[in-house]
Amino acid sequence: MPDTTVSDHPAERRAEDDGWRIRRTEADAGRLGETESIFALSNGWLGWRGNLDEGEPYGMPGSYLNGFHERRELSYPEDGYAFPQLSDTVISAPNAALIRLWVDGEPLDVRTGTLHHHERVLDLRAGLVERHTEWTSPGGHRVRVRSTRLVSLAHHPVAAVRWEVEALDGPVDVRVCSDLVANQRVPERSDDPRAATVLDEPLVAEYRRSDGPDGVLVHRTGRSGQRVAVAVAHLVEAPDTTATDTGCQGDRFRLALSGPLRPGQRLRLTKFAAYECTRTDIVDHPAEAADRSAGDPGGTGAERPTDLAARAVAAATEARSVGWDALVAEQRAWLDAAWTTADVVLDGDPELQQATRFALFHLIQAGRAEGDRTIPAKGLTGNGYDGHVLWDTEGYVLPVLTYVAPAMARSALRWRHAHLPEARERAAELRLPGASFPWRTIGGRECSGYWPAGTAGLHVNADVADAVLRYVAATGDEEFLVDAGLEMLVETARLWHGFGHWSDTGSYHLRGVTGPDEYTALVDDNVFTNLMARRNLRGAADAADAHPEVAARFGVDAAEVAAWRAAADAMHLPYDPKRGVHQQSAGFTDLPEWDFDGTDADDYPLLLHFPYLELYRKQVVKQADLVLAMLRSPGDFTADEKARNFAYYEARTVRDSSLSSPGQAVLAAEVGHLDLAYDHFAESVLQDLEDLGDKTSDGLHLAALAGAWIALVQGFGGLRDDRGELCFVPRLPRRLTRLAFSLLWRGQRLRVTITPDEVRYDLPGAGPDVGLDLWHDGERVRVTGGTSCVRPLPTPPDPGPEPPAPPGRRPTRRATA
């Protein structure tokens, strides 16, 4: 169970309850898209957006399966060699969450009639979304509607809804329709290039069947070669006067219940849904897509529609047999186990305590422990970024999951390994050795047509390698290293060795790349990229030396390993001695300064108001870049260098990306600016709950939510793991009286509790013969089971005045109570 203490005092119990529950009421009715993302439920395979049961009004409907997408052509005003010609876009599978209500012929709609009470709650411990509405129809008939929904964390194909309507003031005639609908209209947002591409009616009906109150629909995509089956099974508790009817068409199955309700009388419907999907090779050519669209009753070499339907029906029927109460109990048990490690306790700031648990809930429900599923940038909460996987996963999400849910991190890394063939093909297309993982993808192929911040963002390859190295160090999973990790390390090391350049002075350079800061593109020797590539090269060399027989299967010999080490040792890191700071990339500090005083508050984000030509040639930083390099490779910078670098780049970073604040929080804490660090942490953890970037309606920012954990555990907890050992130099911001978190290391759960005077390390549940070595503020200590290891809280350095941020771009001050 999570490390919480429940009070006997009613007010304190309510405060504790609010720390685990996110509420939205009728006052939030104008923020539908945002609420739908916040209330999204997922299990890493299946995701339901938090739409209203009745389906309308909505910001964006969504019923997603991990990896389920359609393919579309990319067009360029001027084409070029190796430009990706096709891209993939996430599409909604048939939606089984819909339950519509008519009261005396008038549809339930929170925009009409009188809304007396409307509350929706996301329960972070139970994994449920609850809804309670009291509504009077325009005709004057008052009803109460309650519903609870879940996406099962224990049964990956299954989601369920328990829904009921009750007559309140007088008799009413109700009609309830439980719908399964394909090809719902998705509104298109064209005011932002980061918004998703919307495809009209991407699903083609193939098969349908109804059996009493149950039904199943099977659809296929036209080009991506995928097929999906969705089955629904129902339990009905209704007065004897209720009539039942069903209808089944290509894009809709409907169970309709109608009849009178007396005051106090209820109609209850429990709906169990199951989603199954098959995948085939992608069809690249329009002619082949046309052949497929003409119909293929026997299937496309994949599972036949009838077989897929049978699997979905069996899963939905089994869920009904398991029963609603058992599904709810399993959901709570699954989350209780997950929260034992994932929960982070913040005493002193109830709002951010709640927000932190919200962030971690969405992280632990975004992945799957089994199989080879990864986590898109928006998870399964929306269609932002076209549902693509970006470097966010390995750069932010997996470093957290490695410590709180390592099996999920392993699954995501196995997904990358499964797509090594496409990465090799892409590298060959770019005239490079090894493998080049895509900047944006769903099915393993490059989906980004924007070269300066896509293809040139080669650091994604080192991010993948870094995630492999951190996972293996934290878990000791040598089986994974031998089966998958080593091959990824080898192929990415080969990319860097083939891409790099030796100068006449004997330095090794990486030219023409884009680092995390996408406002500075196609540069030489980006420090983040160079340091990450160095770690990649050394990690591959170490792994090859540790497993020479496995490495030999990939053609690795001693000469290649030696070449990797030589390149790593000679990697150039540009430095400006005049200003006493590292250059984000070669020549960066010599660029003209951005005119911040002449930039209006409405001009942010800059990419929507200024041409990239202007951004690329000025000292303006979209998101922490060199700062992130200091977080990932802390041993490559002295304490003085970190302080000077942080101050210099804090003044030039506008945080037009939600990925920026986590790294800034960590370095601010390390150099002693604890109030600033806390404000950056707050911005990261509140990114979606307060919709700080006006983008939450497109889906949650999972990397920013992961960044909240990074800010807490690596910032205030002082965790550093780049040496393959656990090292802590904790800090405690003045807003907090206690910070406590757990992490898994080599199969042991380490609990760290930080208070104003001390730091306590424990191994909960371990016996006295179990021990763990770690570093505390430069001192090597051993933690054993049954005994707390207590050390004083280190005194942070005196950082001097807080460095300025660009005008109007400092995070909101909340460090004082």
Q: Tell me: the pLDDT tens digits for 663-691? A: 999 999 999 999 999 999 999 999 999 99
Tens-place pLDDT, residues 752-770: 999 999 999 999 999 999 9
Q: Tokens 């496995």 sit at which residue?
A: 550
pLDDT at 192: 58
pLDDT in tens, 287-341: 334 433 343 433 344 689 999 999 999 999 999 999 999 999 999 999 999 999 9
Helix, strand or coil, per DSSP, at residue 610: coil
What is the chain's Cα-based Rg?
27
Give Cα 364 to chain centroid, integer Å. Answer: 9
Please count the CA atoms within 13 angstroms of the CA of 813 that sit on its side-chain side: 6
Total Cβ atoms within 10 A of residue 221: 23
Sorting pLDDT into bands at 50, 70 and 90, what band is 369? very high
pLDDT tens, residue by residue, 393-432: 999 999 999 999 999 999 999 999 999 999 999 999 999 9
pLDDT at 809 exceeding the cut of 90: yes
Kindly give the pairing relationship between strand 719-720 and strand 727-728: antiparallel
670 is catalytic: no
The residue-averaged pLDDT of 2-30 equals: 66
45 is in an annotated binding site: no
Per-residue pLDDT band at 198 (split at 50, 70, 90): confident
The reply to whether 135 sits in an annotated binding site is: no
Tell me if 622 is assigned to a ligand binding site: yes
Give the residue from 523, 520, 525 showing the smallest Cα distance to 617: 520
At 9, the pLDDT band (50, 70, 90 cuts) reads very low
What pLDDT is attached to residue 815? 61
Q: What is the pLDDT of residue 5?
A: 37
- Average pLDDT on 91-99 reads 97
Which pairs with CB-CB distance under 8 Å and at least 24 residues apart come from 419-425? Answer: 419/443, 419/444, 420/487, 420/488, 420/491, 423/491, 424/491
Q: Can you spell out the DSSP letters for 239-278?
A: -TT-EEEEEEETTEEEEEEEEEE-TT-EEEEEEEEEEEEE
Of these residues, 394, 422, 491, 518, which one is catalytic?
518
pLDDT greater than 70 at residue 283: no
Does residue 381 or residue 725 have the better pLDDT? 381
CA dihedral 418, 459, 436, 538 (to 10 degrees): -80
| Amino acid 466: pLDDT | 98
Cα first-last separation, the chain: 29
pLDDT for 197? 74
Domains of the chain: 23-316 (2.70.98.40), 339-738 (1.50.10.10)
Cα 790 from Cα 125, distance rounded (Å): 30
pLDDT in tens, 558-610: 999 999 999 999 999 999 999 999 999 999 999 999 999 999 999 999 999 99
Q: Is 623 annotated as a binding residue?
A: yes
Mean pLDDT of the chain: 93
What is the pTM assigned to this prediction? 0.94
User: Can you give the pLDDT at residue 193?
Assistant: 57
pLDDT tens, 610-666? 999 999 999 999 999 999 999 999 999 999 999 999 999 999 999 999 999 999 999
